[in-house]
Structure 1
Amino acid sequence: MCTGIRFTSTTGSMYFGRNLDWTQGYGERVVVTPPAAQVPAAFDRPGDVDAGHAHAVIGMAIVFNETPLYFDCGNDAGLAVAGLNFPQSACYAPEASTDPDAINVAAYEFPFWVARNFSTLDEVRQALAKTTIVAKPVSSDLPVANLHWIIADATGSIVVEYMRDGMHVWEDDVDVLTNEPDFGWQRTNLRNYLTLTDAEPASPLWGRAQLAPFGSGAGLQGIPGDYSGPARFVKAAFVNSHYPAKDSEGENVTRLFRTLGAVAVPDGAARMADGSCEKTLYTSCFSAEALTYYHATYDDPRIRAYRLASCDLSGNAPLNASEAPLTA
């Protein structure tokens, strides 16, 4: 399972990140795809930006036959996207649409298609109105992953879910996404927790007894603490919405990692049906201000930085990003 969030700094710059929670890694690494990279598309799409004029993309990926399979990524325009597990509800189109106006996108290429071709969330919204997400695998050896996606820029975020009845594009006013159930259910479920508060509760009288809280944080009694999708959604939404806005790059990167740390999964706490345990394999952050991708792993919590400007963007194939010093 996974958790994604988005927020802005005091100056309106976007920060976007996610936890990837799973039982095992897949050799993922930070990958940059230069604008001129020749990446094969799953379908003929005349509207795609030509290589050389596309956006540079950076994020966590595996590369298969020159195709970057991004788990999450951001581009040089400050647009970001992440795919999260949606195993029970995702239901892509079995075949490409034959409508001449349709935009057919394979699920495996969806994050890269978004980040490579678009500059703003509004552009993505317009394209999604004509988009069909197709259950086409990148290879017979790699099954199609059942996902939904959060896409964001400085103006806000949306959630994209392709289900049995087709495309759903949700306006994400809480800037959070987890897993099952669908976003509409998760957003409605927040109403069950509207009495939560960051304030210290008043000391009431019960008869002649004056009751006082044990200390700060008592206003959060009742917030779910398990690692299910609904519980993480509620907790991430509360923490993300109540965290004070910050000024500097360092403060905002810290905010993102601390917020996602509130819903990180430790080993041994979330066992799956096959006996294996999920844990937060990595946490990532994309800064639209610095055009820098940050990440830390379960076994190495040191935050590493990868600046887009420090990477070689002249090539014609995806490449490993170069680590850079942290920005203060």
Structure 2
Amino acid sequence: MCTGIRFNDASGKMFFGRNLDWSQGYGEQVVVTPAAAPVPAAFDRPNDPAPGVGHTVMGMAIIFQGIPLYFDCANDAGLAVAGLNFPQSARYAAEPQAGATNVAAYEFPFWVTRSFATLAEVREALKDVTIVAKAVNEHLPVASLHWIIGDATGSIVVECMEDGLHVWENDADVLTNEPDFGWQRTNLRNYLTLSENEPAHAAWGAAELAPFGSGMGMQGVPGDYSGPARFVKVAFVNNHYPTQESEAANVTRLFRTLASVAVPEGSVRMADGSFEKTLYTSCFSAASLTYYHAAYDDLAVRAYPLAGCDLSRTEPYVIAPAA
């Protein structure tokens, strides 16, 4: 399972990030794909940008035969995408559709960030998109995902379900897992009495009741690691965290917010007996075009500025953190 969020800093620049929760890693590393790099597409798409015309993309990925398989990524225009597990509800098209823009599920985050500069452009393009259940190879099965996409103007959620493609306007600026986003957004209404404030004293007849201390306004917030519980908690934290100004303060905000729903090993056992945990937390700053990353076993937050990358290269490549 996973959690994604976005917010803006005091000057309107976006910060976007996610927890990736799973029982094992796949050798993922921070990868940059320069705009000049030709990347094979799963289907013929005449409107895709030619090498050197589209956007440079960076994020967490594995590289397979020159194809960057991004878990989450962002581009040089400040647009970001993250894919989150959606195993019960995701239904992709079995085959490409005539007359549509066909995109394989595995390439969707890269296609979005390589092709578009703004969320408005993505919304328009999605009117003609079919997401297809095509695997990149026989060893990497199709992952059942939904996606949060954001820029400085806001975010959307993209879900392929039995009744078709849904594009949800995401005013909560968060995403977790099952159920679908529409259910999760409606469920927030069950928690509208949560407050960051200390409850007022109450009189029960002659008895005056006072709170034990701060934090009691949050009584009732769910504390388990299910998709609905994490959605409620991270939505509250993300939307009540005070707006920050500096890069450091906003990176801190993102990592602290996602830490509120991070999964420790030993708390969530999967059906195969393995334990799920938060393998990594990532953050993208559109203000500085920097990707930040911290792993479960290495809590140091490392920075990967796009300004330090060799954008003349013509293939996706793994980058090292700034010294």
Whether 1:15 and 2:18 are equivalent positions in the alignment is no
**Residues 57 and 74 of structure 1 are in contact (CA less than 8 Å); yes or no, is this contact kept in structure 2?**
yes
Partner of 1:26: 26
SS of the residue 2:279 aligns to: strand
Partner of 1:190: 188
Root-mean-square deviation over aligned CA pairs = 0.6
SS of the residue 2:183 aligns to: helix
* Residues 255-274 of structure 1 mapped to structure 2, 5 A cutoff: 255-274=253-272
| Matched AA of 1:90 | A
Counterparts of 2:298 and 2:207 in 1: how far apart (Å)?
50
| Matched AA of 1:126 | E
Partner of 2:74: 74
SS of the residue 1:303 aligns to: strand
SS of the residue 2:157 aligns to: strand
Whether 1:2 and 2:27 are equivalent positions in the alignment is no
Partner of 1:88: 88
Partner of 1:150: 148
Between the aligned residues of both structures, percent identity stands at 72
Deviation per CA, 1:30-60, whole angstroms, max 9, x where unpaired?
A: 0000011111000000110110111000000
- Cα offset, 1:141, TM superposition: 1.4
- Cα offset, 1:258, TM superposition: 0.2
| Matched AA of 2:97 | S
Partner of 1:205: 203
**Residues 23 and 277 of structure 1 are in contact (CA less than 8 Å); yes or no, is this contact kept in structure 2?**
yes
Counterparts of 1:86 and 1:79 in 2: how far apart (Å)?
22
Work out the number of aligned pairs and report it.
323
Partner of 1:322: 320
SS of the residue 1:301 aligns to: strand
Counterparts of 2:46 and 2:38 in 1: how far apart (Å)?
15
Partner of 1:50: 50
**Residues 196 and 223 of structure 1 are in contact (CA less than 8 Å); yes or no, is this contact kept in structure 2?**
yes
Counterparts of 1:36 and 1:10 in 2: how far apart (Å)?
33
SS of the residue 1:309 aligns to: helix
Counterparts of 2:222 and 2:285 in 1: how far apart (Å)?
29
TM-score, length-scaled by structure 1: 0.98
Whether 1:38 and 2:38 are equivalent positions in the alignment is yes
The 4+ residue runs of structure 1 with deviation greater than 6 A are none
SS of the residue 1:324 aligns to: coil
Whether 1:219 and 2:217 are equivalent positions in the alignment is yes
Counterparts of 1:324 and 1:217 in 2: how far apart (Å)?
38
Counterparts of 2:97 and 2:159 in 1: how far apart (Å)?
17
**Residues 160 and 170 of structure 1 are in contact (CA less than 8 Å); yes or no, is this contact kept in structure 2?**
yes
Counterparts of 1:38 and 1:9 in 2: how far apart (Å)?
34
- Cα offset, 1:79, TM superposition: 0.2
Partner of 1:139: 137
- Cα offset, 1:167, TM superposition: 0.4
SS of the residue 2:214 aligns to: coil
Counterparts of 1:42 and 1:215 in 2: how far apart (Å)?
57
1:299 alignment partner, one of 292, 297, 300: 297
Counterparts of 1:142 and 1:3 in 2: how far apart (Å)?
22
Counterparts of 1:12 and 1:321 in 2: how far apart (Å)?
28
Runs of 5+ consecutive residues of structure 2 not aligned to the other structure? none
- Cα offset, 1:21, TM superposition: 0.2
Partner of 1:253: 251
1:106 alignment partner, one of 75, 85, 104: 104
Whether 1:160 and 2:155 are equivalent positions in the alignment is no
Partner of 2:59: 59
Whether 1:236 and 2:234 are equivalent positions in the alignment is yes
- Cα offset, 1:263, TM superposition: 0.2
Deviation per CA, 1:195-234, whole angstroms, max 9, x where unpaired?
A: 0000100010111111111111100100000000000000
- Cα offset, 1:322, TM superposition: 2.6
Partner of 2:171: 173
SS of the residue 1:273 aligns to: coil
SS of the residue 1:115 aligns to: helix
TM-score, length-scaled by structure 2: 0.99
**Residues 48 and 117 of structure 1 are in contact (CA less than 8 Å); yes or no, is this contact kept in structure 2?**
yes
**Residues 311 and 322 of structure 1 are in contact (CA less than 8 Å); yes or no, is this contact kept in structure 2?**
no
- Cα offset, 1:274, TM superposition: 1.5
Counterparts of 2:300 and 2:195 in 1: how far apart (Å)?
32
Counterparts of 1:214 and 1:49 in 2: how far apart (Å)?
60
